[in-house]
Amino acid sequence: MLMELMLRYNYWISVVLMLIGFYTMISKKNFIKKIIGMNIFQTAIFLLYISMADIEGRSAPIIISETGYVNPLPHVLILTAIVVSVSTTAVALSLIMKIYKEYGSIEEDKILEVHS
Amino acid sequence: MIRIYSIISLILIGMIFIYVADEMPAFGSPDNPINNRVYDRYTERSFEETGVPNIVTAILADYRGYDTLGETTVIFTAGMSLMLLFSRWKNG
Amino acid sequence: MANGEITSIVIRTVSRIIIPFIQIFGLYTIIHGEASPGGGFQGGVILGTSIILLTIVFGLEEAKRRIPRGLILVFMSLGLLIYSGIGLLDMLFGGKYLEYTRLPLPLSGHEISALSILCVEIGIGITVMSVIILLFFYSVRDEDAHGINA
């Protein structure tokens, strides 16, 4: 049991980061903290996929060495996902700026009592 | 109140994840199911088909070039929506 | 001092020296992305970061004087046009969309492919750089002022 735990420690790290990000998204009231929680969640997912691509004893996927290469396919897919994450964060922060200009605060409960 | 509910649900989700993590393949072994024939084709024949030593760039721009076009459109659309959000109307 | 620039002379001198080197490194990451880690997206972000440093240290007015808004919009569209233009060019000579080996240049098969990949990466880098510059310029502008700070 402990041996299998030590062999799979990358999934544990990813799960802990996922839970931290998810908790921040749900229970904080400031909008910017929610967006930061979404970023932490996305980073945990990237770690999960890239850590599955590693092979022990092989080097980076550039054809220059005689040892083997790690699996290059998850790196390619995660590159696209990182760019999508950056775009989403940029548009979300701009929306927060417009909300602040309209309502005067970025706390969730103050906006709810102004709006209703 | 929200905090107690969220902590309870997070503990439940965490227990489910850790139970599932026992069934995943080991970290770093060469006979994972992710290293299959696609991996062999990409690492053996990418240099003679594309002429680019970096396998990641070759996959991004040659084998899967259409997905990269879609991703560049995503960044372009983000820039467009920023311009829409921050334009100023002349109040007349 | 009205536009929030930094007045310490150490920071201004050091950043005046180091911004061209950041830009050269960004161009190196884009162009040498075929033989070393890097590529279009990474190099574009590095190029955008150099302009962000210019804006932080010298103020928004100075940065807008060097990079007018029309230029940013032209670059943003030009990168995407290069990418889809190469795809349409391959269709013009009888191949499928983005099939690089059909161009009638006097090079061998995989050298044409390497040349097309280089052009495509440059296009991606230009688009990413201009979106990052645009995002920063819109974030720090002062909305109640008139004139060049808008």
Q: Rounded mean pLDDT of A24-42?
A: 94
Tell me the pLDDT tens digit for each residue of B59-85.
Answer: 999 999 999 999 999 999 999 999 998
Span C13-18, average pLDDT: 95
Please give the pLDDT value at position B18.
82
Q: A89 lies in which domain range?
A: 2-54+67-115
Which of B59, B39, B38 has its CA nearest to residue B49?
B59
Residue A61: inside a domain: no
B84 touches C: beta carbon within 8 Å: no
Question: Given the structure tokens 């967006």, which residue do they identify?
Answer: A35
Q: How far is A111 from chain B (nearest CA, A)?
A: 18
Mean pLDDT over the full length of chain B: 87
On chain A, the residues whose CB falls within 8 A of the CB of C41 are: 79, 83
Number of structural domains found in chain C: 1
Across residues A100-114, what is the average pLDDT?
88
C7 close to A (CB below 8 A): no
A33 contact partners, CB below 8 Å, separation of at least 6: A24
Q: What is the pLDDT of residue A64?
A: 83
What mean pLDDT is predicted for residues B13-41? 85
Residue A18 lies in a domain: yes
pLDDT confidence tier of residue C150, bands split at 50, 70 and 90: very low
- B6 domain residue, yes or no: yes
In a domain, B90, yes or no: no
Asked if residue C2 belongs to a domain, the reply is no
User: Across chain A, what does the average pLDDT equal?
Assistant: 90
Closest-CA residue of chain B to A57: B28
Residue B91 domain-assigned (yes or no): no
- Asked if C143 and B88 come within 8 Å (Cβ–Cβ), the reply is yes
Looking at residue A42, its pLDDT comes to: 96
Question: B37 vs A32, A59, A78, CA distance in Å?
Answer: 44, 19, 20
Q: pTM of this prediction?
A: 0.89
- Measured between CA atoms, the residue of chain A closest to residue B12 is A19
pLDDT of res. C147 = 54
Number of helical H runs and strand E runs in chain C = 5, 0
Q: Could you give the number of structural domains in chain A?
A: 1
Higher-pLDDT residue of A74 and A114 is: A74
Please give the pLDDT value at position C149.
44
- Kindly state whether B46 is in contact with chain C, defined as any CB-CB distance less than 8 angstroms: no
Q: How many domains does chain B have?
A: 1
Overall average pLDDT of the A88-112 stretch? 91
Tell me: the pLDDT tens digits for A35-80? 999 999 999 999 999 998 888 888 888 888 778 889 999 999 999 9
Q: Which residues pair with C54 in a beta bridge?
A: none
Taking only the tens place, the pLDDT of each residue in C79-109 is 999 999 999 988 888 878 888 888 888 888 7
- Whether A22 maps to a domain, the answer reads yes
B27: three-class secondary structure by DSSP: coil
C16-23 long-range CB contacts below 8 Å, 24 or more apart? Answer: C19/C50, C19/C53, C19/C54, C22/C46, C22/C49, C22/C50, C22/C53, C23/C47, C23/C50
* Domain of C102, in residue numbers: 9-149
Residue C104: inside a domain? yes
- In which band, very low, low, confident or very high, does the pLDDT at C144 lie, cut at 50, 70 and 90? low
Which of the two residues, B6 and C77, has the higher pLDDT score?
Answer: C77
- Residue to test with chain C: of B67, B74, B75, most C Cβ within 10 A: B75
Is A102 within a domain?
A: yes
Mean pLDDT of the region A4-12 = 83
* B92 domain residue, yes or no: no
Residue C144 is assigned to a structural domain of this protein: yes
Indicate whether A6 belongs to any domain. yes
Which among C98, C111, C144 is the top mutation candidate for probing chain B, defined by the most B β-carbons within 10 Å of its own β-carbon? C98
Residue B55: which of B35, B68, B41 has the closest Cα?
B41
Q: Does residue C1 lie in a domain region? A: no
What ipTM did this prediction achieve?
A: 0.87
Torsion A12-A18-A22-A25 (CA) sign: positive
- At residue C134 the predicted structure's pLDDT band, cuts being 50, 70 and 90, is very high
What's the pLDDT tens digit per position in C58-74?
A: 999 899 999 998 999 99
Residue B18 domain boundaries: 2-85
Taking an 8 Å cut-off on Cβ atoms, the answer to whether B38 and A90 are in contact is no
